[in-house]
Amino acid sequence: MLKSLSIRDFVIVSNLELDFSTGFTALTGETGAGKSILIDALSLALGERGDASMVRSGCERAEIGAEFDVGAEMQAWLEEQDMTGDEGICLMRRVLDAGGRSRGYINGRTATLQQMREAGEQLLDIHGQHAHQSLLRPDAQRLLLDGYAGAQEQAAQVASLYKDRQTIQRRRISLSENAEAVAAERELLQFQCDELSGLNFNAADWLEQQAEYERLAHAASLLETAEFGVESLSEADNSCLSQLNVLTGKVREAVTHDVALSDTLKMLESAQAELQEAVYALRHYQQHLETDPGRLREQEQRIQNVVDAARKFRVAPEQLDEVLQRNRARLAELGGDADLAELEKREQEAHKAYMQAAKKLTADRRKSATKLSEEITAAMQTLAMQGGVFAVTLQPLADGNAHGLESVELQVAANPGVPQRSLAKVASGGELSRISLAIQVATSNVASVPTLIFDEVDSGIGGRVAEIVGGLLKRLGRHHQVLCVTHLPQVAAQADQQWQVSKAVEAGVTLSHIAVLDAKQRVEEIARMLGGTTITDTTRKHAAEMLAHSA
């Protein structure tokens, strides 16, 4: 709901800070005092176009800020737009400069007018001769009927089944139109998969295979190196070990005469052991080194095959596994849809499921459309539209769509003998406001917009009808936050709270003000609305009685 509104230098408002309450609030005041300025300011904050004439004369810019409490659906929209602020809060701000340029912000982030309008459609509805009117949108009319019918889940199921059917249908059409190309692709993919599978390639074994090939390719030189090492270390006449053994013996004898050679002896003995271990290792290497020409040719061919395949697919050898898995996945995808007859069968089943769900939705809509039409038509008879007819019409769609087998349109004939027309084409602002009021009351339990503003709802009515309108607004205020601009005391008296709009000349400048009235002030304002310029005790008594009766 709307929590607060700040207006600065807008039209004839200098600086205004308002806090809003739940329930039904009436805005009253003298004609020309600027009662509609509040609605104009809110409209601007919610994305309506503005111009330089809205900036108060002599000021650089006008600023409008509105704070709303929001629910889960609006919070999700803010997250989707990356415009979240404090949890459960939406701050709408609009700045309009004297040159006509404007900037919009949502929770402090720059927003386009389209984004502000999308947010506004979920936050607030204005009923009257204003563009911001969700009930005039076809999608809102459909959602209203589905909500009234309790058919939201059924509608969501229809949308899901329609999407499934369309997906299968697109696959079937694509396959039938590109059968030759698909067959050629499948053939190529199958050949490539067979070729890659035949390699028995494993990226984890690739380095080991290369290492084995290097050993086999250089086996002769490796054996020669090992033989030379054994000869040099231990088998030659002057081998390293024989000379080291002699030296170690001499140093061991010398230690008996000078212990300073002890560390040297230890190092020589360690070297003696290390060299002996090296000899053992080289002999073991000689015994186990393969010199298998057949194995060498086999590994050489295998490596060449991998390199050729990698070059063919334009990847590194290590990526051949990925290519194989990717081709298999694509082949499986094509294979699942390759049977045109199977696809046609699936399409028929999907169409049948969609039609069953859509027909059930149509039945629910028809039943509720009749009930809602009768309820609102009955309300119109009490709202100065005797003989008027309201109808929720269902227009069949040849093939259906994601929303079902029909479009939904709200139609109205405000007077007897007048043909029914779309609600969007109702000319009279007063009639449109009263019809909107009747719709909102009838659907108050399912309407999603939390704040409703009515302007001109009492245009052309009075007396008993005005009292009925006030009662409907009060009833609507039990479920929504309701604001109504009114000049009728019968309407204002039934409000939960009342604000008075006044206009005064200050220092030669005309300014508009809004005051929240207490109980005593409400009596005076209702009396003014009843009696005009001359307010008598009788008028005040009548005003007090109206307020008491409406409490």
pLDDT tens-digit series, residues 304-319: 777 777 788 788 877 7
pLDDT digits 0-9 by tens, 260-273: 888 888 898 888 88
* End position of a domain, from candidates 336, 366, 397: 336
Whether 286 and 388 map to the same domain: the answer is: no
Residues 225 and 327 placed together within one structural domain of the fold: yes
pLDDT band at residue 329 using 50, 70 and 90 as cut-offs: confident
Residue 267: DSSP 8-state: H
Angstrom distance (rounded) from CA 303 to CA 530: 102
Query: Domain boundary residue among 307, 336, 365?
Result: 336
Same domain, 324 and 249: yes
Amino acid 369: pLDDT? 95
Q: Are 481 and 449 in contact (CB under 8 A)?
A: no
Domain edge (last residue) among 336, 364, 399: 336
- What does the pLDDT average to over 467-485? 89
Q: Is the pLDDT of residue 129 over 60?
A: no
As given in the structure block, the two tokens for residue 129 are: 């001769």
pLDDT tens digits for range 196-234:
777 776 766 666 666 655 665 555 566 667 677 777 777
Give φ, ψ of 236 to 5 degrees.
-70, 160
Q: Which residue blocks in 46-137 are alpha helix, DSSP H? A: 72-80, 113-123
Tell me, yes or no, whether 93 and 19 share the same domain: yes
Q: What is the pTM of this model?
A: 0.60
Of 48-62, 117-131, 281-295, which one has max mean pLDDT? 48-62
Domain with 63, as residue range(s), is: 2-156+353-517
Residue 330 and residue 362 in one domain = no
**Locate tokens 């409000």: which residue?**
495
Confidence bin at 102 (pLDDT 50/70/90): very high
Q: Are residues 205 and 279 in the same domain?
A: yes
Ramachandran region, residue 396 (left: φ > 0; alpha: ψ -120 to 50; beta: rest): beta
Q: State both tokens at 218.
A: 């250089």
The answer as to whether 212 is a domain residue is yes
The CA distance from 70 to 5, in Å, is 15
Q: Return the beta strands (E) in 340-433 as ranges.
A: 389-401, 404-413, 421-422
Measuring CA to CA, which residue among 105, 102, 111 is closest to residue 65? 105
Distance, CA of 387 to CA of 419 (rounded, Å): 12
Element containing residue 33 per DSSP (H, E): none
